[in-house]
Each structure stands twice: as structure tokens, then as C-alpha cells.
Amino acid sequence: MTIGDMLGALFLGLLEGLTEFIPVSSTAHILLAGRFLGIHNTGYTFEILIQLGAVLAIITVYFERFLRVARQLPTNPGAQRFLLSIIVAFLPAAFIGVLAHGFIKSVLFETPALMCITLILGGIVLLFVDRLALKPHYNNAMGVPLPMALKIGFCQCLAMIPGVSRSGSTIVGAMLLGMDKRAAAEFSFFLALPTMLGAFTYDLYKNFGSLSVDDGMQIAIGFVAAFCSAVLVVRTLLDFVSRHGYAPFGWWRIFVGVAGLIGLAITG
């Protein structure tokens, strides 16, 4: 593995952590950056496996709250309902993801123009939803009713199309279902844990035999970089959203999508 490969893995890891929990699609950013900057990596597998760094960032930032829930789980109905809501929201993506894994990896993630288009469309949706005069009924991410959690879970399935964004689809879905902006982002954090851990485990199982030592080194570098940058995002995102909403992310998506289409037209 060359110094260039190591720097490329470091850059993509930082990009993963910075974009995983904001509604801009980390997958599209990593795959498009790898294509246009000529960064060699294992593509979709690299992007999935370094997500574990972002997962650990969530666990680190919310460790005390998760520990409290774990201690209260045997006797506290609120803790039990919170855990059940996350499981219920996770199930649609788990089921559809296993069934469609091959198609997602071999077709959707090999179509950069699709990523650019979905980035633009998702940006327009974010701008539209952010301006709606929504009246939220839920401001606690740990008190989501189970039917609502299931609907958010189905919204998350849209993110199997690259460029849609896992956090974007869950946040928009939660807001349209009556959750305020801050709570929607926080529930998206919590839902990321089983979703990303499941994707990590399944993809590692499917591709472990094909990974080389160099691939493992790149993934390790990307993992650490993703953890560090994701901690920063998780610690600051909720306050940013409370002040500025989601419009800045919508404009960013449109900019990246348009730039990507122009780049594809130039490079073929």
C-alpha cells in the first residue's frame, strides 16, 4: 500500500464521519470522491466497513444515556419502549437489505449519475420540507410510538438508493410524521446503530475472503478517521439544526449533485 493509498483512505474516512449523520448521503460523497479524485479503495465494501467508526462515535457520545437505558431495561417501561421502537424501525431495512444486497452493490452503487440525480432531488425535498409550517407533536426521540417507528423504518429503506441518504430519509420521514427537527435528528442517530452494525456485519461476512492485507489497512485508517470526524458532527449537529434547520444541507446536496453531473459529462 502506497502513501497515496493511505492518504486517500484517511480523506475518505474523514468524509464518511463528516457526512454520515447529516442528510447529504455519505455513500454518494465517498463513491463520487473516490471516482473523481482517483482514490483506490474497495468501493462499496470500504464505505460500509468504515461506518463502524461512525457507529462507535454515537456510542461514545451517548454512552451514559445508553448505560442508563440498559440498567433500567428490566423494570422501566419507557426504556423497554425505546429499545423496541429502535428494533421495529430497523426491521424493514434489515429484511429488504438482505434480499436486495446483490442488486444494490452491483447495479445501484455502480451508477454515479443516479447518485448525482438523487442528491439533487433529495436537496429539493429538504428545502421544501424545511420550509413547511409543520406542527410537531413529538420532541423526545426516546418516546416514539411503535407505529411511527415502523413508518420511519420504511422511510429509511429509501436510502438503499445511493444519494438518498439514510439520515436524510429518516429525518424527513420523522418530521413529516410529527417529530420536531432536533428529535428527528437524534432518532436518526439511534436508528443508525443497528442499521450500520447490521450492514457492517453482513458485508464483512460476504466479502471477508476477498479482502487483502492492504484493503484491511485502508479500512483501519478510514475507520479511525471516520470515528474522529463523526464525534465532532454528533456533538454539534443538534444545536446547528435547532438554529439553522436543514436548508443548508439541501443546498449542499444540489451543489454536489450538479457538480457531479458536470464532472461525469466532462470525464465520460
**CA R_g for the chain:** 18
**Res. 265: pLDDT tops 90:** yes
138-190: pLDDT as tens digits: 999 999 999 999 999 999 999 888 889 999 999 999 999 999 999 999 999 99
Instruction: In the chain, count H helices and then E strands.
Output: 12, 0
Question: Which pLDDT score, from 0 to 100, does residue 41 have?
Answer: 58
Interhelix angle 112-131/247-267, nearest 10 degrees: 160
First CA to last CA distance, the chain: 28
pLDDT in tens, 30-76: 888 888 887 765 556 677 778 888 889 999 999 999 999 999 999 99
Question: What is the reported pLDDT for 44?
Answer: 60
pLDDT tens digits for range 2-37: 887 788 889 989 999 999 999 999 888 988 888 888
Phi, psi of 179 (to 5 degrees): -95, 145
Q: Domain spans of the chain?
A: 3-267
Can you tell me the distance from the alpha carbon of 222 to that of 177, in angstroms, rounded to the nearest whole number? Answer: 35
pLDDT tens digits, residue range 101-140? 777 777 777 788 999 999 999 999 999 999 988 888 899 9
Write down the pTM of the prediction.
0.88
- DSSP SS3 for 179: strand
**Mean pLDDT across 194-214:** 76
